[in-house]
Amino acid sequence: MRTLFVAAIIAIAATSADSTPSRHKLLVVSIDGLDWRYVRDADRLKLKIPNVRKLLAHSQYADGVIGVWPSITWPSHTAIITGARPDQSGILNNGRGKLDPALSYWSANKLRVPTLWQCAGELGLTTAAVTWPVTMDAKITWNLPEVFLRRNGGSMDLESISKFATPGLVDEIGNTYPSFSQQWVDDRTRTLATLFLLKHKKPDLILIHLVDLDSEAHDQGPFGANANAILEHTDELLGEMLKALPKTYDFALVSDHGFERIDHIANMKAEAIAAGQIGDIEPMGGIVATKDSEMANWLRNQSGENGSDIGREIPRAELLRYAPQLGDTVAAFEPAEHVLFFGGEASGPTHTTPPERGDHGFWPLRHDYRSVFLLTGPGVKVGNLGPVEMTSLEGRLAIPLGLKCPQPGQRPS
């Protein structure tokens, strides 16, 4: 069956881009934390990911997706389906805390801009989502929102999801796939939900968010044996979805951010105090910024020096393009390789061991820190697009659906 599916994908991907494609349905699979290097360097990493490899060979794909800032899960997933930066969409962080729509970023009511699912729904198309971020209260036809009171790695408690899911949907999936009804919603049960939707609901647009790779890369570090094994399992799950994919569907694979190994955390406030610097300094994980000219010069003098925690200074135009909300800063810097910034106490240690071996949230243009975009289907021209911006993905995903959604600048505030 898998061979037949791949042959079908090859056939439809070879269709001339000059022909006018009819409207197709679309399955979008996001693998959280799938750094582009997993795909680009699959041979070097000795990864057994046959489904991703075949898709890459017969898809339109980006040579890495340049993300948004902050480059974390919920703002990035929102950028993928809105075309808007986090400062435009209003989703500036991940959801956390009580499952109250008025709090945190759980609810789609927090969105300041319309989404791809809204664009589809306005034209009468049906939609579905499986643990896609910021989907509580969303106008999605069949919805298993990403909400949780408890986490177990990448797994989320089914009890919380059930409370906010489309009424009856959890029971329908459980009746078809009894093993779905376990305590935790993990990537295996997310795949069962997707198979159910493909076979029994056939929505025009399906968005699925797989999370287990991200969890493992945080805990054990990216590109190592443990994270690679999770990705290989994810590829097997992807193969199950591809086998079940009707011929009426196009397919997209995306991810939300890259990943970096973390060797130590630098307490920049303590470092500054130890050096006699007492001005403004604001560590933000993947960058450190200051509104103080003297502090900026101190950081600048360390930038790129051997053994320094301070990496590249972010050019002013680049800073304003990706994070205009930081326009009042004098300067901002990336950390050195394998370093994460932390504010900490001024009297605390300058360096600490990280609680996790891997992390993200780095500046979007950090070298080799990219996410993934692959698209295959009728009328899709196969080949390398070069690097693309994450904010361009909504428009690219709208094309096979036959949609023309408004760009962020055309959207109401």
Answer for the pair 75, 105: CB distance below 8 angstroms, yes or no.
no
Host H or E run for residue 253: strand 249-254
CA distance 208 to 369: 23
**What pLDDT score does 409 carry?**
52
Task: Return d(Cα 292, Cα 400) in angstroms, integer.
Answer: 49
What is the pLDDT tens value at each position of the chain, 413 positions in all? 434 334 444 343 433 333 334 789 999 999 999 999 999 999 999 999 999 999 999 999 999 999 999 999 999 999 999 999 999 999 999 998 999 988 999 999 999 999 999 999 999 999 999 999 999 999 999 999 999 999 999 999 999 999 999 999 999 999 999 999 999 999 999 999 999 999 999 999 999 999 999 999 999 999 999 999 999 999 999 999 999 999 999 999 999 999 999 999 999 999 999 999 999 999 998 999 999 999 999 999 999 899 999 999 999 999 999 999 999 999 999 999 999 998 777 888 999 999 999 999 999 999 999 999 999 998 799 999 999 999 999 999 999 999 998 877 544 33
Buried b (16+ CB within 10 A) or exposed e, 187-200: bbbbbbbbbbbbee
H or E element in which residue 259 lies = none
**Closest C-alpha among 356, 269, 263, 273 to residue 307:** 263
Distances (CA, A) of 104 to 34, 94, 130, 292, 298: 25, 8, 20, 31, 36
In the Cβ-directed half-sphere of 365, how many Cα atoms lie within 13 Å? Answer: 13
Task: Give CA 290 to chain center in angstroms.
Answer: 28
Q: In what order do the strands lie in the sheet with 282-283?
A: 282-283, 288-290, 331-335, 310-313
Structure tokens at 109: 């009511």
Radius of gyration of the chain (CA): 22
Q: What is the largest CA-CA distance in the chain?
A: 67
Determine the Cα–Cα distance for residues 231 and 241; give it in Å rounded to an integer. 15
Pairing relation of β-strands 373-376 and 60-61? antiparallel
CATH class belonging to 2-260+366-410? alpha beta
- Ranges of each domain in the chain: 2-260+366-410, 263-355
Which amino acid makes up residue 63? Answer: D
Residue 264 pairs in a beta bridge with: 339
Q: Is the dihedral of CA 353, 354, 356, 358 positive or negative?
A: negative
Number of other CB atoms surrounding residue 323 within 10 Å: 23
Residue-level pLDDT at 413: 32
Which pLDDT score, from 0 to 100, does residue 336 have?
97
Cβ neighbors of 10 (< 8 A, separation 6 or more) are 58
Does the reported pTM lie above 0.95? Answer: no
Q: Residue 23 has what pLDDT?
A: 86
- β-pairing, 25-31 vs 205-210, is parallel
